[in-house]
């Protein structure tokens, strides 16, 4: 890759972006009382120097305050996999909030039971609790499993992401042991005190770590998604289940992103048998919610522990968890939007997307790979596709990503800002896929000189 050409093109795209977004730039300048000028600091993750400011969003279209419209393949990094403001969710939330009332009552609703039953049908775990984010679902699942096993540690895969869960901010070091993720903010203790780590697709490494006998739970995605998609090799997930059982360690499948695999996420798609499933984002149709499902055996074990305070101050809870608005939105999303039929259509669209992307990449003879997990597609700058987190991390190229993301944004196509992920929602059309591919083709053409 000619880096000086890449830099020149990126500079040109930054100027175009600034020209197309004067109101976003002004709004950013005016937001002086926001820390980092954004409501949450990660919104500064943009190649452009300032973020696009949202005006409206519907289905898979976003319009910014400057009047530019985008085909949205980011979809809120999966939180909007149901599309933006799907009509059944708008109706359910409007009814709850505006007609029936009661956004925060500390009382259960019938919607919650229906949502729990639907999650049980999809993921095969009978008992569910709700949180407001997937991060919290993971935190609380971890606490429950430490309590029930009496073991202190959690094991995660290197380069995983499970939200800002302290125990998960560990990567494999050069000696195979764990070390803190670079840039980790305010760790309460050295992460190796609370955690162990193994590479994805490495059963020998997992067995070595579990053999210490101090791991309460393995917290994992059935396919890595946050360092690009890394798919499980044949036998890996069955091997994880077997090893965790043999070592008395519980298994948590975090389905927050792998939900893209199908109506029951990767757990349903690959017929997996975890003890706990955690999830968040898309199940609320855009409204904040998280959830964790427990096996009957685990629920029994927890229920029989009189020493655990699961009602008041025991460390699992949240005043707004399970609130009526989140529950109405979750029920509507599961029952009416992200249905079995919707997943079939989204998956077919993603297959078309992946095939077209592979053809374009092959046309430029680039050593890149395309991976797909149901409705989710990603390309990495490595071929063959990375088989673990370390390989995936090494294949990142921030400069190249910046250029591609900017080039696409300037021509009305949005990707997730963190890597090269595209996601289909029920409204994503073939025309939208074609539009992405036209622009992507042109971007590679410019890079080829």
Ligand X SMILES: Cc1ncc(COP(=O)(O)O)c(C=O)c1O
Tokens found for residue 365: 């003879």
Q: Residue 57's closest CA among 69, 49, 41, 40?
A: 69
With respect to ligand X, which residue has the nearer C-beta, 266 or 443? 266
**Closer residue to ligand X in complex, CB, 138/420:** 138
Q: Tokens 């360092």 — which residue?
A: 227
CA distance 64 to 61: 10
Please identify which residue in 161, 250, 259, 269 interacts with ligand X, judged by CB under 6 A: 161
Q: Does 209 bind ligand X (CB under 6 A)?
A: no
Piece of 42-50, 156-164, 331-339, 342-350 that binds ligand X (CB under 6 A): 156-164
Dihedral sign of CA atoms 70, 350, 379, 257 in order:
positive
CB of 281 to ligand X, least distance (A): 5
Tell me which residues in 278-297 interact with ligand X (CB under 6 A).
280-281
Task: Choose the binding region for ligand X from 5-13, 134-142, 269-277, 399-407 (rule: CB under 6 A).
Answer: 134-142
> Binding ligand X by CB under 6 A: which of 134, 169, 240, 337?
134
| Nearest distance in Å: CB 130, ligand X | 13
SS3 196: strand
Task: Report the residue number, 27 or 134, with the smaller CB distance to ligand X.
Answer: 134
What token pair was written down for 146?
């430490």
Q: Which of residues 75-94 bind ligand X (CB under 6 A)?
A: 77
Candidate list 163, 317, 318, 412; residue touching ligand X; CB under 6 A: 163
In whole angstroms, the minimum distance from the beta carbon of 79 to ligand X comes to 7
Q: Using the rule CB under 6 A, which residue among 10, 24, 129, 135 binds ligand X?
A: 135
Q: Which lies closer to ligand X via its Cβ, residue 25 or residue 80? A: 80
Alpha-carbon distance 172 to 180, whole Å? 9
Segment near ligand X (CB under 6 A); pick from 133-141, 145-153, 192-200, 316-324: 133-141
The answer to whether residues 338 and 263 touch, using CB atoms and an 8 Å cutoff, is yes
Stretch that binds ligand X, among 132-140, 169-177, 399-407, 419-427 (CB under 6 A): 132-140
Nearest alpha carbon to residue 420 among 338, 359, 354: 354
Burial class (CB in 10 A: 0-12, 13-18, 19+), 126: middle
In the complex, the smallest distance separating the C-beta of residue 41 from ligand X, rounded to whole angstroms, is: 13
Which single residue is written with the structure tokens 């298994």?
A: 251
Nearest distance, CB of residue 101 and ligand X, angstroms = 27
- For residue 301, give the DSSP letter: H
Residue 375: C-alpha distances to residues 47, 258, 341, 361, 405 (Å): 25, 9, 13, 20, 20
Residue sitting closest to ligand X (CB)? 163
Given a contact cutoff of 8 angstroms between Cβ atoms, the answer to whether 250 and 218 are in contact is yes
φ, ψ for residue 153 (rounded to 5)? -110, 160
Shortest separation between residue 254's beta carbon and ligand X, angstroms: 5
Q: Look up residue 376 and give its two tokens.
A: 């989710």
Applying the rule CB under 6 A, the residues between 255 and 274 that interact with ligand X are 256-257
Identify the residue among 199, 202, 221, 388 touching ligand X (CB under 6 A). 221
Cα 371 from Cα 209, distance rounded (Å): 29
Residue closer to ligand X, measured from CB, 261 or 360:
261
# residues contacting ligand X (CB under 6 A): 15
Q: Where are the alpha helices (DSSP H) in 83-235?
A: 87-94, 110-123, 134-149, 191-194, 203-210
Q: Which of 24, 60, 129, 133 binds ligand X (CB under 6 A)?
A: 133
As a whole number of angstroms, the distance between CA 196 and CA 191 comes to 8
Candidates 5-13, 54-62, 161-169, 243-251; binding stretch for ligand X (CB under 6 A)? 161-169
Q: Which of 226, 249, 333, 347 binds ligand X (CB under 6 A)?
A: 226
| Own/partner long-range contacts of 360-363 (Cβ < 8 Å, ≥24 apart) | 360/437, 360/440, 360/441, 360/444, 361/444, 363/441
Q: Does 376 bind ligand X (CB under 6 A)?
A: no
Q: Minimum CB separation from ligand X for residue 276, in Å?
A: 13
Stretch that binds ligand X, among 108-116, 141-149, 249-257, 261-269 (CB under 6 A): 249-257
* Residue 410 near ligand X by CB under 6 A: no
- For ligand X, give the closer residue by CB, 132 or 328: 132
Question: Could you tell me the two tokens for 159?
Answer: 């380069």
CA-nearest of 446, 449, 425 to 73 is 425
Q: Which two tokens stand for residue 4?
A: 């000086």
SS3 state of residue 213: coil
Considering the complex, state which of residue 74 and residue 439 has its C-beta at the smaller distance from ligand X: 74
Q: Give the residues lining the site for ligand X (CB under 6 A).
A: 77, 133-135, 138, 161-163, 221, 226, 254, 256-257, 280-281
């Amino acid at each position: 890759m000619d880096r000086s050409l890449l830099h020149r093109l990126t500079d040109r795209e930054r100027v175009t972006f600034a020209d197309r977004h004067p109101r976003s730039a002004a709004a950013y300048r005016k937001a002086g009382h926001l820390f980092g000028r954004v409501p949450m600091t990660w919104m500064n993750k943009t190649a452009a120097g300032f973020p696009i400011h949202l005006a409206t969003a519907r289905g898979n279209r976003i319009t910014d305050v400057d009047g530019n419209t985008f085909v949205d393949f980011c979809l809120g990094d999966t939180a909007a996999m149901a599309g933006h403001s799907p009509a059944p969710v708008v109706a359910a939330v409007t009814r709850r909030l505006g007609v029936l009332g009661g956004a925060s009552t500390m009382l259960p609703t019938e919607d919650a039971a229906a949502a729990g039953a639907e999650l049980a049908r999809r993921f095969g775990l009978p008992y569910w609790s709700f949180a407001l984010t997937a991060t919290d679902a993971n935190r609380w699942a971890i606490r429950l499993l430490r309590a029930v096993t009496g073991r202190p540690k959690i094991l995660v895969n290197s380069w995983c992401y499970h939200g800002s869960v302290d125990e998960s901010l560990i990567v494999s070091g050069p000696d195979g042991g764990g070390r803190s993720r670079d840039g980790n903010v305010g760790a309460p203790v050295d992460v190796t005190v609370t955690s162990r780590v193994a590479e994805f697709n490495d059963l020998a490494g997992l067995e070595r770590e579990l053999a210490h006998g101090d791991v309460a739970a393995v917290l994992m995605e059935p396919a890595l998604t946050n360092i690009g998609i890394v798919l499980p090799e044949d036998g890996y997930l069955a091997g994880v289940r077997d090893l965790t059982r043999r070592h008395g360690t519980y298994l948590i499948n975090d389905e927050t992103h792998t939900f893209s695999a199908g109506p029951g996420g990767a757990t349903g798609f690959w017929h997996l048998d975890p003890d706990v499933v955690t999830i968040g984002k898309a199940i609320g149709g855009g409204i904040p919610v998280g959830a964790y499902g427990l096996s009957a055996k685990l629920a029994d074990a927890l229920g029989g522990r009189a020493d655990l305070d699961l009602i008041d101050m025991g460390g699992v809870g949240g005043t707004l968890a399970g609130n009526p608005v989140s529950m109405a939105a979750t029920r509507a999303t599961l029952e009416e939007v992200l249905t079995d039929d919707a997943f079939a259509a989204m998956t077919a669209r993603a297959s078309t997307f992946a095939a077209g992307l592979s053809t374009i990449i092959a046309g430029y003879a680039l050593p890149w790979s395309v991976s797909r997990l149901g409705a989710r597609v990603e390309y990495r700058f490595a071929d063959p596709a990375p088989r673990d987190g370390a390989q995936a991390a090494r294949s990142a190229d921030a400069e190249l990503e910046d250029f591609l993301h900017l080039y696409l944004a300037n021509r009305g196509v949005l990707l997730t800002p963190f890597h090269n992920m595209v996601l289909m929602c029920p409204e994503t059309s073939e025309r939208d896929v074609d539009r992405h591919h036209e622009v992507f083709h042109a971007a590679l053409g410019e890079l080829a000189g």
